[in-house]
Structure 1
Amino acid sequence: MDLLAKLKRAGARSWTFHYEQILGTSLALRFRASSEAVAQRAEQAALTEIARLEKIFSSFDPGSELRRWQGTQALSPELGELLAASERWMGKTGGAFHPGVTQGLAPLWRKESDGAYTRLTEAGFTLNAIAKGEIVDRVCAHVLSPEVGVFEVVVNIGGDLCVRGDRRVQAVVSGDTENAPPLSCVWLHNQALATSGTARRGLHLHDPRTGQPVTHLLSASVIAPSARIADVLATAFCVLSVEESLALAENEEGVACFLVTADGQKFQSPRWAEWETSPQPPPASRRGRE
């Protein structure tokens, strides 16, 4: 690293930006950058990338690539990669993660030898349980750039959080009410954290294998190398039994989970303790747009 780059890194500060109704939820961005101008450019780049990816993955926008996909066609690299990842995780979780809305475990698409994808059903399906994490990952990769003075990126979209950079960043697993103390505090370094469940949002999750409502678990939090993996597994772990979830977490490299059952019991996989810490005050930051 040359002297100028070292001086920029040494003088870097954090700037934070908050938005509502981004992908239907809240968005928090934090950048450790060499100047406020650099942080503001990173903010705009992040928003532009989110808007671009939403036009590909959204299951709500009739004009998105996902919604317009019919029959057999070549898809964008982004959508093709996400479909391939969805297939892998459907297999790894035994169908606990599944994009089908009404299809159960029936195949939803098929990849052809020429790389095109054939949609096999007119029934609805959604990539919501993987797309948000994918967008978080891609935004982090798009914006992090030590060469231009962005040394750390923290993106949090509706609880799907990813940290990229050269420092550890503290994150919390929230309790089941607004004023409840955190259930757990963890340090993340080039990692992601996602939580899924019904504890605070009044959601009704269903087991895609049976169609029955999920009642045994309040929440599942997952630390993983990427937000895509954390997003998928947080959903799947709400469906699987506690024992199945703990075993799968241990079998996946860099994955740990923290589970809260309906009767209030707490379980964590062994690796969770590697990143857990006592609460610390957040680092001082320059406030950006609120």
Structure 2
Amino acid sequence: MALLRDAKPLMGTVFSIAAPDGVDGGRFERAWQEACDLLWRIEQIYSPFIPDSPVSRIRDGRFGPGDLDEQADLSAAEAEDFREVLGLCAQLRRESDGAFDAWAVGDPPNFDPSGAVKGWAAERASALLVERGVTAHLLNAGGDVRLRTDGVATWSVGVEDPHRPENILARLEIAEGAVASSGTRQRGTHIWDPRRRRPAEGIAQVTIVGPDLALADGYATAALALGGRARRFLADLGEGGPYQGCIVDDAQGVWWTEGFEQYAPALRGLLRPSAGHGGDFQGTFGTSGG
């Protein structure tokens, strides 16, 4: 099936969209522009690289999280959204035992919610697209994707090998949900271990599949920072839960949770399981088995 596509630079990365061409082209363009406007506004609020953004003002002590309602550049709804993001960051810190900590990013440590905000923003943009009639789409947020379908077809997502990026090692068949990865191939040791105060090491890439991109992205970041403890973290996460993961280590060893196989049945029985993704997902759309 042919796809409508577009891409725009936003939030320090590239957001792109693909949608089945059954949707009206004008509706697609209007909905996509509205989603991009939303993402632009989110960037103005949460970017630590914009000197006068609310996040930058928190970082340099001009105000605290308890003063959100007093900020003239935040609407009441945006202040409430900010509290939601703070709650998301607190949840990720708690569930990862501090491996994800938005309050201890970098050296010296400071507040930077970017590791949670990108996925959260993509979820908001995806929900807006659905509201505007683009119900089936793949929204790619700098390599992490939110997938929605019409209830009949599925997305086939090609996954790269971080050690041999020219190879597609597996295809994930997903009707609805999110796929997020953290890895060192694209941006080097960009993941900071807040507990040991140094870059994460030992793992080349972590891929998480689940219902929500904000949590999937945060879990992938935390697992990469955990290094040798990542398997236990993902095993606990995947046991009876909706989030499943796959790890590729620096020595090219691969491990995945049992539930990950439901998205990539070709993994079963492989001596060298395929996994991982550090760059852009390659998505196609069609009926299951087609």
Q: How high is the TM-score relative to the length of structure 2?
A: 0.79
Residues 50-98 of structure 1 deviation map (CA, whole Å, 9 limit, x = unaligned): 1121122212112322223413313511110010111111111100111
Match of 1:25? 13
Letter aligned with residue 116 of structure 2: I
Residues 219-274 of structure 1 deviation map (CA, whole Å, 9 limit, x = unaligned): 00100111101110010110222332332332472111010011000001011100
Given the alignment of the two structures, is residue 247 of structure 1 paired with residue 235 of structure 2, yes or no? yes
Match of 1:282? 284
Does the CA-based 8 Å contact 1:136-1:160 persist in structure 2? no
Match of 1:113? none
Matches of 2:16 and 2:10 in 1, distance apart?
10
Matches of 2:91 and 2:285 in 1, distance apart?
38
Distance 1:103 1:206, change over 3 A: closer
- Judge which range, 135-144 or 67-76, deviates more: 67-76
Matches of 1:158 and 1:203 in 2, distance apart?
17
Letter aligned with residue 246 of structure 1: L
Match of 2:122? 136
Match of 1:85? 88
Given the alignment of the two structures, is residue 228 of structure 1 paired with residue 228 of structure 2, yes or no? no
Does the CA-based 8 Å contact 2:247-2:255 persist in structure 1? yes
Match of 1:3? none
Q: 2:170 aligns with which of 180, 184, 194?
A: 184
Distance 1:61 1:178, change over 3 A: farther
SS in 1 for 2:6: strand
Distance 1:102 1:191, change over 3 A: closer
Does the CA-based 8 Å contact 2:156-2:173 persist in structure 1? yes
Matches of 2:190 and 2:5 in 1, distance apart?
32
Residues 96-125 of structure 1 deviation map (CA, whole Å, 9 limit, x = unaligned): 111133699xxxxxxxxxxxxxxxxx9621
Runs of 4+ aligned structure 1 residues displaced above 3 Å come to 101-104, 277-281
Distance 1:281 1:28, change over 3 A: closer
Matches of 2:163 and 2:205 in 1, distance apart?
13
Q: 1:95 aligns with which of 93, 98, 103?
A: 98
Deviation of the 1:156 alpha carbon? 0.6
Given the alignment of the two structures, is residue 43 of structure 1 paired with residue 32 of structure 2, yes or no? yes
Distance 1:135 1:38, change over 3 A: same
Unaligned runs of 5+ in 2: 70-78, 268-281
Number of aligned residue pairs: 253
Question: What is the percentage of aligned positions where both structures have the same residue?
Answer: 23
Unaligned runs of 5+ in 1: 1-11, 105-121, 285-290
Distance 1:265 1:103, change over 3 A: closer
Does the CA-based 8 Å contact 2:156-2:283 persist in structure 1? no
Distance 1:61 1:244, change over 3 A: same
Match of 1:7? none
Matches of 1:155 and 1:85 in 2, distance apart?
21
When Rg is computed on C-alpha atoms for both structures, the one with the higher figure is 1
Given the alignment of the two structures, is residue 263 of structure 1 paired with residue 251 of structure 2, yes or no? yes
Deviation of the 1:277 alpha carbon? 4.9
